[in-house]
Structure 1
Amino acid sequence: MSQNEIFLLAMLLVFVLPYLIWRIGRTDDFAPLVVVQILCGIVLGPGVAGQYFPEFYQTIFQPSVMRALDGIAIWAVMLFVMLAGIELNLSGVWAHRRESCITAGLALGMPLLTGALAGLLLLSMPGWRGAYARDWQFVVGIGMACAVTALPILILLMEKLGILRLEFGQRILRYASLDDVLIWGVLAVILMDWNRIGRQAIFLLGFALAARMYRSLIVRLNEKDRYATILIWLLLCSFGADWSGLHFMVGAFLSGTVLEAEWFSRSKLDLFREHVLMVLMPVFFLNTGLKTSWAIGGGLVFVAAGILLLAAMSGKFAGVSLAGKILGWRPGETSAIAWLLQTKALIMIIFSNVLLEKGIISSATFTALLLMAIASTMLTVPAVRPLLSRLRILPPQTPAQLGMFPQAGHDIPSEGRKRQVEEY
């Protein structure tokens, strides 16, 4: 077969296999399509397909094909992280700053602490720390991976549940938005290359000046031109961050944070995100699966994943429970908020990919973190749906929640939803 044919076969696997499993198996209530795609990536990776079907794996995922897939995956995840940055509503966080800071701080700080303790445990055993990591980088990296809340996936799950546009959903978005900023800030500290501190200072100063100029420019453009220029802005920021020694993903996130969601049509922005998820991100998931490793031993990797999941969830629930007591939440709210904020999936996988690329964690640790992220995300909807029903927050299911992706046309609350907002 020619290189083109092999590449197309690889792409066919990426898109066909997860979709068939998701659609035929009707897994949406416990495993959304993105989770199925990640799981299929693991199956197609060296830990499963490479071990049991080596000829198939080496034929399809040969180096030339992987280089092509790598390029698509990099572009996909850059777009996705930029859109996550645009979703941040920092003005909303500021308007409710006491509540947001207490909740976000505790929801991030407690799992960071419990995750760091799990990192110390892994550090005491060989094979988990990356080749280029200092002890503190590994421990803090593991801690932050346990503390991550995946804002884009959280948005998808809340839209599926029908609570995204309700006040309860907006509160959770404020907490997750503030955590997202802190997550990328901690990642920048972990990756700080003190030998290249001058370059990083130049990048941050240049970014601040360029962001101010770009913000004044983009408001003068029509919406079509805004979409064209944000791609150029994304590439410039990502290149600058990577040149400075920070990861290009930090630059991609920063490029989105200086943009206001109000500058774009909400329906078009949602559609843009959905198209990235549908057309490009499956390739990133495949690359993620191809980085899994069972070198330390499959059993130990699953044990490590269980320890990390316990650390992440116990820390998240402890932090949110403490916030609920301080802020006087009504009974039941604490558990619902904690379950939603422990959603990880994409952002934690992206975060862990960066740690793996920089040699902070080993491939075995990456695999354990990946399994932990999948488990935490799969638990969210089944656990939180009955809680929302008891709190009388969950609205009736809409046709949009039954499709592959949430539809942007269902933003306006029904009379039932309006009553629920007023009751809340």
Structure 2
Amino acid sequence: MSATAVLLLVLLLVVLACRAAHAVCRRLGQPPVLGEILVGILLGPSLFGALAPGTHASLFGPELLTAVDGLSQIGLVLFMFTVGLEFPIARLRSTARVGLAVSGAGMVVPLALGFAFALWAGPRLGLFPAGVDPAIGALFIGLLLSITAFPVMARMIADHGHVRTRFGSVSLTAGALDDAAAWVLLAAVLAAFGTGGDASALIALAGLAVLAGALVLVHRAARHWFARRDPGRDAVLVAAALALLAAAGFTELIGVHAVFGAFALGAAVPRGAAADVLAERIRPLTAVLFLPLFFVHSGMNTDLGLMTGAGLAAGAAALVVLAFIGKLGACTAAARAAGESWADAARIGCYMNARGLMQLVALDIGLRAGLIDQAAYAMIVVVAVATTFFTAPGLALVDRLARRRAGREPERRPETAGAAP
């Protein structure tokens, strides 16, 4: 059988398996990305490779995995572009005060907890490859704990009908701010880890500054172009494709992952009909084929067998606990301190705690850069699955507790208009 035939059959298998996983996840109230990650884990060395190593090796050989990896990276760039297109810039103003408080707590607390744990456990558990500064590796682990899966969170908020609620708006604002801050910090970590030392970091930072200036010009030029005349759907798509290749290629060239350029370009596109057309054209095939490939590939890179040792298993459990404390706990407390009710604050914390998608994107970038090894990769995948899985039942638990508390509260007597003070 030719390599092309094997690749097409594997793609068929992946798409069918992901669609079946999506149906199961919908029945359980879980986001589709969770099913895609689990499909990858089942097809990878953790299960299929352990049960049938010979068949697994012949079906998922190095050449095929390289081809799947290339397709998944293209899908990842397209997806991050659509995330930038849908980045809720206008929403940031209305809930900025509470959103900033929640976002700040949701970044600083888990980052500090993850950094402290990884700095202590990294050398003991061998989480970082040789040559990686433990402080840089620990900062990367802390960053992974501080990330919120904004696209997954936005999808769950829409699915639960919470888009127009106060806590839904605050969650979207805080999640958007978290993602933006996380990408900036991740770019700084990658620049600091650059193989070229200080020169590499300076090139990366200077390149990002150049990109920011260029995108300001792109935004103004595009707004002027759209205002003068209707450029047409095909013209918009061609212009976006050229700009996307340039932005993603530029960030990859300066030593920062291509997704940074894709996301930044999407955020720079003026909101309106053109952005809607681009999202409408790009999203369907990306969501059905390319993006599931990325998450399946991530799952196939996860070998849970590497965590058979008591130390690594305990380390993964500790990271899950720290992830919940740092995100769910800190965001809930920050929202409550900012004036939200306990129920709404807890709902905000549940939404902010979901990490599945964006955490895996950053995790994949770190693995490719050589910041972590396969054991640490598997540990973070466990964190992503656990925190994302908890969101739906966590929200249901908060709703039950809120209804129970409301039922216990005594009915308040209405005040009359002429009552004495």
Shorter-chain TM-score category? 0.7 to 0.9
Q: Give CA-to-partner distance per residue, 1:200-239, whole Å, 9 cap, x none.
A: 2442243133212211232214362333322222221111
Aligned to 1:246: 256
Counterpart of 1:310 (choices 312, 318, 321) is 321
Aligned to 1:216: 220
Counterparts in 2 of 1:89 and 1:27: CA distance versus 1, 3 Å: closer
What is the total number of aligned residue pairs between the two structures? 391
Q: Once structures 1 and 2 are overlaid, which stretch shifts more, 267-276 or 209-218?
A: 267-276
Aligned to 2:11: 11
Aligned to 1:237: 247
Hey, what's the Cα distance between the residues in 2 that align with 1:347 and 1:270? 21
Hey, what's the Cα distance between the residues in 2 that align with 1:166 and 1:129? 43
Aligned to 2:389: 378
Aligned to 1:82: 81
Q: Give CA-to-partner distance per residue, 1:363-412, whole Å, 9 cap, x none.
A: 111111011101111111122135347768xxxxxxxxxxxxxxxxxxxx
Aligned to 1:70: 69
CA drift at 1:320: 1.8
CA drift at 1:106: 0.9
Contact 1:132 1:360 in 2 (8 A): no
Q: What RMSD, in angstroms, separates the aligned Cα atoms of the two structures? A: 2.4
Counterparts in 2 of 1:380 and 1:26: CA distance versus 1, 3 Å: closer
Counterparts in 2 of 1:173 and 1:47: CA distance versus 1, 3 Å: same
Aligned to 2:112: 113
Q: Once structures 1 and 2 are overlaid, which stretch shifts more, 139-148 or 44-53?
A: 44-53
Q: Once structures 1 and 2 are overlaid, which stretch shifts more, 128-137 or 360-369?
A: 128-137
Are 2:191 and 1:204 equivalent residues in the alignment? Answer: no
Contact 1:86 1:256 in 2 (8 A): yes
Counterparts in 2 of 1:36 and 1:306: CA distance versus 1, 3 Å: same
Aligned to 1:179: 178
Q: Once structures 1 and 2 are overlaid, which stretch shifts more, 215-224 or 6-15?
A: 215-224
Give the match's secondary structure for 1:349.
helix
Counterparts in 2 of 1:248 and 1:21: CA distance versus 1, 3 Å: closer
Aligned to 1:20: 20
CA drift at 1:261: 3.7
Are 2:170 and 1:159 equivalent residues in the alignment? Answer: no
Hey, what's the Cα distance between the residues in 2 that align with 1:71 and 1:207? 24
Structure 2: segments with no counterpart, 5+ residues:
404-421
Hey, what's the Cα distance between the residues in 2 that align with 1:270 and 1:34? 20
CA drift at 1:349: 0.3
Structure 1: segments with no counterpart, 5+ residues:
393-424
Hey, what's the Cα distance between the residues in 2 that align with 1:217 and 1:351? 31
Contact 1:109 1:319 in 2 (8 A): no
Map residues 248-287 of structure 1 onto 2, 5 A cutoff.
248-264=258-274, 266=276, 269=279, 272-287=282-297
Hey, what's the Cα distance between the residues in 1 that align with 2:206 and 2:22? 46
Contact 1:149 1:344 in 2 (8 A): yes
Counterpart of 1:359 (choices 362, 370, 374) is 370
Hey, what's the Cα distance between the residues in 2 that align with 1:114 and 1:144? 10
CA drift at 1:268: 7.0
CA drift at 1:26: 6.0
Aligned to 1:330: 341
Hey, what's the Cα distance between the residues in 2 that align with 1:157 and 1:333? 16
Hey, what's the Cα distance between the residues in 1 that align with 2:208 and 2:114? 29
Aligned to 1:100: 99
CA drift at 1:19: 2.3
Aligned to 2:130: 131
Aligned to 1:408: none
Q: Give CA-to-partner distance per residue, 1:115-160, whole Å, 9 cap, x none.
A: 2233124214132113342111111111111111001101111111
Counterparts in 2 of 1:52 and 1:195: CA distance versus 1, 3 Å: farther
Give the match's secondary structure for 1:292.
coil
Hey, what's the Cα distance between the residues in 2 that align with 1:122 and 1:94? 40
Aligned to 1:341: 352
CA drift at 1:93: 2.1
Hey, what's the Cα distance between the residues in 2 that align with 1:165 and 1:230? 31
Hey, what's the Cα distance between the residues in 1 that align with 2:232 and 2:34? 33
Contact 1:7 1:60 in 2 (8 A): no
